[in-house]
Amino acid sequence: MISEKIILGIDPGTAIMGFGIISVKKGKMEMVSIHELILKKYPNHETKLKYIFDKTLALIDEYHPDEVALEAPFFGKNVQSMLKLGRAQGVAMAASLHRNIPITEYSPKKIKMAITGNGNASKEQVAGMLQNLLNLKEFPTKYLDASDGLAVAVCHHFNSGTIADTKSYSGWDSFLKQNPGRLK
């Protein structure tokens, strides 16, 4: 039996990317760390992707998560924004799979539902509930993208052992088997 599980939650973004790390010991959650990667300052999308990969690997190497949970891209009207967001998520997935860490995706609605009980909750409501769930006196970041990364990790803990509305990959082979259309 595992005495402690470390979960890295990631909220992909192209302006700010949020990361939250929790530890679960005997069913009790504790926030380990929260990070944001400010990407607005970088000149092009390729540079942003490099920093996403580097930051994800650095967090994995520092905290040694057992599992990674990511927020899945939502469908919007701006195709270019969706493409960039999907690339950001893909780079974080690649970094996780590069270290052979299983990953799971959750829809934004599922994450909000798991944290607040309301799939349409605001980012502020999610952050407030996380503060309560994790017994934080004050929230450790001003960026709601970072709190969203933490929410993904908590959602993953709450959904451990369930399969509804998620996709899990244990490595590249698993990813390719579940996504044959992405292989060219």
Predicted pLDDT of residue 145: 84
CA 14 – CA 38 distance, rounded (Å): 9
154 within 8 A of 22, measured Cβ to Cβ? yes
Instruction: Determine whether the annotation assigns residue 173 to a binding site.
Output: no
**Residue 89's closest CA among 159, 9, 32?**
9
Residue of 36, 67, 105, 145 with catalytic role: 145
Instruction: Determine whether the annotation assigns residue 145 to a binding site.
Output: yes
Residue of 11, 67, 105, 148 with catalytic role: 11
Assign 166 to helix, strand or coil. Answer: strand
CA 109 – CA 144 distance, rounded (Å): 16
164: tokens are 């509804």
Is 11 tagged catalytic? yes
Predicted pLDDT of residue 165: 44
Is 36 tagged catalytic? no
Find how far residue 37's CA is from the centre of its chain. 13
Predicted pLDDT of residue 139: 79
Residue of 36, 67, 71, 148 with catalytic role: 71
Mean pLDDT (10-residue bins), the chain, 184 residues:
87 93 93 94 94 97 97 78 88 95 95 94 93 89 87 95 52 64 54
Instruction: Determine whether the annotation assigns residue 66 to a binding site.
Output: no
3-state secondary structure 84-150: HHHHHHHHHHHHHHHCCCCEEEECHHHHHHHHHCCCCCCHHHHHHHHHHHCCCCCCCCCCHHHHHHH
Is 62 tagged catalytic? no
Predicted pLDDT of residue 163: 45
149: tokens are 């990364």
pTM (two decimals): 0.85
For residue 127, CA distances in Å to 71, 115, 124, 135 come to 15, 9, 5, 12
